[in-house]
């Protein structure tokens, strides 16, 4: 090969240099964005943590409200969340119901409506649910109260993920 064939012109040198520098800068900007976008998805098992809420001995067949506090990772933001949950004995099982009305999200209470003392009652639009959290036909909610997965271990009631129950009037 001749020496002439190996020569790099000033124009080629600048093109290679600017392309290389531009590529490094683009990678430097895109890598953090990609990491923030993918990081929560790569944290496996974050939702499977159980939260201890009560002793089994505290529960009765009447729904009672218990506080529940847990740490929530929302993308790259971690916060402490406090919620309430209705717990009750339901035969041999423990039922854990969300107090959030499935109509428009107000908080329900149990036994506060004098005409329906054995039901959950939502004061916002007069929604009602039976003792197992099933919505009462003819009231605004169209599906039952959401429930939590329940695990009883060593006399402690632990809650997992919340889920929508099937059914509805
Ligand atoms: S929000 Fe409960 S009935 Fe409307």
**Residue-wise pLDDT tens digits, 87-117:** 999 999 999 999 999 999 999 999 999 999 9
Cβ contact 107:97 at 8 Å: no
Ligand 1 atom with the smallest distance to the CA of 127 is: 3
Q: Is the domain of 72 the same as that of 125?
A: yes
58: CATH: 2.102.10.10
Quote the pTM value.
Answer: 0.71
For residue 48, pLDDT over 60 is answered with: no
Domain residues for the domain of 112 are 46-163
Mutate to test the pocket of ligand 1, among 100, 101, 129, 139 (most ligand atoms within 8 A of CB): 101
Tell me how far the alpha carbon of residue 169 lies from the centroid of ligand 1, in angstroms.
15
Q: In what order do the strands lie in the sheet with 51-55?
A: 51-55, 156-163, 147-153, 93-97, 77-90, 64-74
pLDDT confidence of 155, banded at 50, 70, 90? very high
Domain membership flag for residue 168: no
Q: Is the domain of 99 the same as that of 111?
A: yes
Residue 74 CA: distances (Å) to CA of 26, 35, 79, 81, 100? 27, 15, 8, 11, 21
Q: Is the domain of 97 the same as that of 25?
A: no
Q: Is the domain of 24 the same as that of 105?
A: no
Domain membership flag for residue 104: yes
Mutate to test the pocket of ligand 1, among 98, 99, 103 (most ligand atoms within 8 A of CB): 103
Question: How many distinct structural domains can be found in the chain?
Answer: 2
Q: Is the domain of 13 the same as that of 60?
A: no
Cα torsion at 66, 70, 75, 77 (round to 10°)? 110
Ligand 1 atom with the smallest distance to the CA of 104 is: 1
Task: Spell out which residues line ligand 1, taking CB within 6 angstroms.
Answer: 101, 103-106, 122, 124-125, 127, 140-141
Q: Is the domain of 31 the same as that of 111?
A: no
Q: Is the domain of 85 the same as that of 38?
A: no
Domain membership flag for residue 151: yes
For residue 21, pLDDT over 80 is answered with: yes
């Amino acid at each position: 090969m001749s020496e002439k064939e190996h020569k790099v012109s000033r124009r080629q040198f600048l093109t290679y240099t600017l392309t290389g520098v531009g590529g490094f800068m683009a990678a430097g900007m895109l890598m953090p964005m990609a990491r923030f976008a993918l990081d929560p998805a790569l944290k496996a098992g974050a939702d499977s943590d159980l939260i201890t809420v009560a002793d089994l001995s505290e529960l009765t067949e009447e729904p009672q409200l218990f506080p529940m506090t847990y740490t929530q990772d929302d993308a790259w933001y971690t916060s402490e969340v406090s919620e309430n949950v209705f717990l009750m004995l339901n035969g041999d099982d423990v039922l854990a119901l969300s107090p959030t009305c499935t109509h428009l999200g107000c908080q329900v209470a149990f036994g506060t409506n004098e005409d329906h003392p054995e039901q959950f009652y939502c004061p916002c639009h007069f929604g009602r649910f039976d003792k197992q959290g099933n919505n009462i036909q003819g009231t605004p909610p169209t599906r039952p109260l959401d429930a939590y997965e329940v695990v009883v271990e060593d006399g402690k009631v632990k809650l997992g993920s919340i889920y929508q129950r099937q059914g509805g009037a």
